[in-house]
Structure formats: structure tokens, C-alpha cells
Amino acid sequence: ESGCARYVGLPAHHPMPPAAASPLTLVAVAAAAALTAFALRRRQRRPKPPRRDLRPKRDLVGYGSAPPAFTWPNGARLAVNFAINIEEGSEPNVLDGDGVSTAALCECPSDAPPGVRDLAAESMFEYGSRVGVWRVLRAFRSRGLPATAFACALALERLSELAAAVRAGVADGLLDVCCHGYRWEDHAGMREEEEKSRIAQAVASLTASLGAPPRGWYCRTAPSESTRRLLVEHGGFLYDSDAYNDELPYWTQVALPDGRVAPHLVLPYTLCTNDSKFAPGRAFSTAQDFLSFCSAAVDQLLSEAEATGQARMLSVGLHPRLIGHPARIQGLCALLDRLDSLGREGR
């Protein structure tokens, strides 16, 4: 029989009382051991407090039937935001250690096997940074019309001339900057610590390239459940555009780990009035397709604004490797001319 068996309730690692210990000592030691074991068992049985749910909640209602009365500058009934996506050079690429060279939003899908560079896709992205982006920027600058640069930080690190052009556009009041991530990469499946690091890296990079931090954020297509909270925790962001659920800006509440709830502004983006429809198998084939589609949205929103007295907003997404081709840019130029004319009419 082991020595510990003579002292009821003592675990094997508990110090044994001296041989000459009094009965009271033996009882005290046994009681202490029993109470310790009891407390351990209770702690094991006690349910843990529920973990604070920091995930974003769904909102299927929004403004409902009564949107607020927004007031745009100069009494305009419609605000149109053009988002120029600067992604070229930051996309997934075998040269950057990725498993594939993506051909997303290019003229044709990739046929390259995993791990093999797709030089066709690479060169189609290069068209956007070598030719397309300059054609798009000229279209806005020549008309004195503003746009938002949805800029991937790594793209501007690698494109110093373009970074200088964006800085000049900001200085002239023709561009504002929304961070499109450090790279053109998916955030939806990122681990939280990795995403937190990526956000900080993107902000630091754009600040170095442009001389000021970005005020907005937009992921590649879909954020993670943590993205918006991480943006609030990082600080410095006026808004994000990681939502497609409305046409008008709105405030949302972001739950933080310390129990606070922070208000945060969302400026919704859209994949509807977007030149991504020029990608293979999608809706647009010609410049006129783009112009007609976007013009229909303008007409409808102006009609609603004039009927209700409530201002409206429209986002239009642009990708230089798509809209920047000469066969397509005319649709954008015609749309800009029409909007400029409406603006001069005070609409």
C-alpha cells in the first residue's frame, strides 16, 4: 500500500506530513487537500462566461421605406462616385510566392497550371498600369472631374510615377484615396492576426507613397468578419466601402473587445454599375453597353430624387485594364460628359 493511501484525500504530489504530526495536523492537511480538490472540480464544472460576439450583425432593413434627406454640395440631387481600382502589380502572382498568377478581370481566363507563371495574364495586368490607368486619369483630369483611387498599397510601391500622379490628383482636389488592401488579395479567409498586420502594412505603405494615410478602406470583393472591427481598432479611417447592401451612406455600430461599441461610417460600393462586366462571359461587350447601363441608373435615380425630394447616390467601379482600352473608354468619356452637363444644370 502506498504511503499516500494512508492520508485520505491527498494527491500523490502533496507533501506528506511528518511522522510525529498531531492528529489535528493530519486532519488539517487532509482537509486542505480535500478542499483544494473540491475547488478544482468546481472550477472545472463552472460554465465559462459567454464569449463576447464581435461578429458583424446582418441588417436586412436599412433605411426601409423612409431614407433620410441627404444634402449634397450645391443642392445636387445625385452624387456619383467613380472608383478607379489600382491593383496592377499587387495581384496574386507566382513571382510573389503565390500558387498562381491570377487572370481575374482580364480578357480571358488563365490556362496556366498551378505554380506556373501565366505570362498572358501578367501582361494584361501590365496593360492596366502601362496604358489604361493613364487614359482613365486623363479622362477625369481633362474635364476637371473628381474620382476615388481604390489603391492597393503594393501597386503604388512599385509604380512611383503613378504614385506621384495620385499625389498630384489629391493636391488638386481631383482624387481622394481609399485603401484597397496591401495587395489585391482575399481577406475573407485571413486569420485575424494576419489581417491586422496587413491593414497596418497597407496604411504604412500608402502613407509613405502618398504622404498621408488613406481615409477609406475597401477589400478585394469580400471582407472577413473581423475587417471592420480591425479598421476601427487601427484608427484613422473615416469610412469603409466593404458593403453592397445600400446606395446611401449609413452608420453602423462596431462591437469592440473591451465592451465598447464604436460608430463607423459605411459608404456602400457596387458591383452592378461596374466595368467588371467587361470580363469574359459577363454583360458588357461594347462601350455603348457600359454607357447605356450606367445612364439608365443615372436616369432612374434622378427621377426618384426629383419625385421625392431626397438626394440619391451612385457608385461606378472602374478597372484600368478593362475600361482603359480605346474601344471602351469612349463609354466612360460619354458618361462623364453627360454627368458634367447635368451638374452644370444643377442636378
Mean pLDDT of the chain: 88
Q: Flag whether pLDDT at 1 surpasses 50.
A: no
State the amino acid at position 191 in one-letter form.
R
Per-residue pLDDT band for 25 (boundaries 50, 70, 90) equals very low
Q: What is the DSSP letter of 128?
A: I
How do strand 312-318 and strand 250-255 relate by DSSP bridges?
unpaired
- pLDDT at position 12: 40
Radius of gyration of the chain from its Cα atoms, rounded to whole angstroms: 29
Give me the percent of the chain exceeding a pLDDT of 70. 85
- pLDDT at position 82: 98
Closest alpha carbon to 332 in 345, 344, 319: 319
pLDDT, tens digit (0-9, with 9 covering 90-100), for 212-257? 999 999 999 999 999 999 999 999 999 999 999 999 999 999 999 9
Closest alpha carbon to 212 in 246, 251, 238, 184: 238
What is the strand order of the sheet 78-86 is part of?
Answer: 250-255, 261-266, 239-240, 216-217, 175-179, 147-151, 78-86, 312-318
CA distance 333 to 141: 11
Helix 160-171 crosses helix 192-210 at what angle (to 10 degrees)?
A: 70
How much is the average pLDDT of 168-178? Answer: 98
Please, what sign has the CA dihedral across residues 296, 298, 301, 307? negative
State whether residue 63 is helix, strand or coil.
coil
Q: Flag whether pLDDT at 19 surpasses 80.
A: no
- pLDDT at position 111: 83
Q: Tell me the residue length of the chain.
A: 347
Q: Flag whether pLDDT at 29 surpasses 80.
A: no
Closest alpha carbon to 91 in 179, 180, 199: 180
Predicted model pTM: 0.83
Q: What is the DSSP letter of 274?
A: B
- pLDDT at position 15: 45
CA distance 310 to 305: 5
Closest alpha carbon to 290 in 325, 239, 330: 330
CA distance 164 to 214: 15
- pLDDT at position 6: 31
Q: Which residues sit opposite 253 in a β-bridge?
A: 263
How much is the average pLDDT of 271-283? Answer: 94
Q: Where are the beta strands (DSSP E) in 87-235?
A: 147-151, 175-179, 216-217
Q: What is the maximal distance between C-alpha atoms in the chain?
A: 105
Q: Where are the beta strands (DSSP E) in 278-321?
A: 312-318
Please, what sign has the CA dihedral across residues 112, 116, 120, 126? positive
- pLDDT at position 41: 63
Tell me which H or E stretch contains 265: strand 261-266
pLDDT, tens digit (0-9, with 9 covering 90-100), for 41-84? 656 665 555 567 888 889 999 999 989 988 898 899 999 999 99
CA distance 342 to 76: 9
All residues at 6 or more sequence positions from 235 whose CB lies less than 8 Å from its CB, including other chains: none
Q: Flag whether pLDDT at 306 surpasses 70.
A: yes
Tell me which H or E stretch contains 79: strand 78-86
Degrees to nearest 5, angle at CA 86 with 124 and 248: 125
Closest alpha carbon to 247 in 222, 268, 272, 232: 268
